[in-house]
Amino acid sequence: MNRKGLFLFKSVLDLMERGETVLCTILFGAVLCMYTLEVFTRYVLNYSSVFTGEIGLYFMTWTYFIGFAILFKHGENIILEYFFDRFPPALKKWLSWITHWLILLFTTVVFVGSLKLFSVTSRMEHPILPIRQCYATLPIVVGSFLTMMVALYFAWEGTVRMFGKNEIDARP
């Protein structure tokens, strides 16, 4: 059951990653176009729009938080391999398992905190755009949720590796 559930969860994460990658690519392209237009209008036409900068900032925030979840899934975050590689294999296994659970705890705290922030900012108006301020905090909610799902997978996989009978080769 653990292996089957873990494989299904990994399949869902892989599918979500494809969508996240497409979304980040589109958002980043939109940001490039938006800021190119902003630079052109500012230096050639002597006109600067506050709206373009704000919307570009929103798109960059979405790109950052969703992109971080993708990087985290691929293990592209900061790792101290130099020190970790010098530990004995048994200690590496335990440290890896504990670290995955601590990361899951941390990402859960960030997600819950972002929900509280979203709730507070949902009652505020944006100072420039005609929208609620909560749309500025929504990328944090979505990004922290996606990162928490990846951390859950790593913690689950690590637990199966640690206490399961067979090794699993389902690492994303």
pLDDT digits (tens, 9 = 90+) for 62-111: 898 898 888 888 876 666 677 777 888 888 888 888 888 998 999 999 99
Lowest-confidence segment of 15-29, 47-61, 108-122 by average pLDDT = 47-61
Residue 166's pLDDT is 53
pLDDT digits (tens, 9 = 90+) for 27-75: 999 999 888 888 888 888 888 777 788 888 888 988 988 988 888 888 7
- Average of per-residue pLDDT across 4-23: 87
Among 140, 92, 100, residue whose Cα is nearest residue 116: 140
Among 169, 161, 34, 143, residue whose Cα is nearest residue 101: 161
Residue 108's pLDDT is 94
Task: Tell me how far apart the alpha carbons of residues 32 and 166 are, in angstroms, rounded to a whole number.
Answer: 48
Average pLDDT, the chain: 83
Residue 145's pLDDT is 93
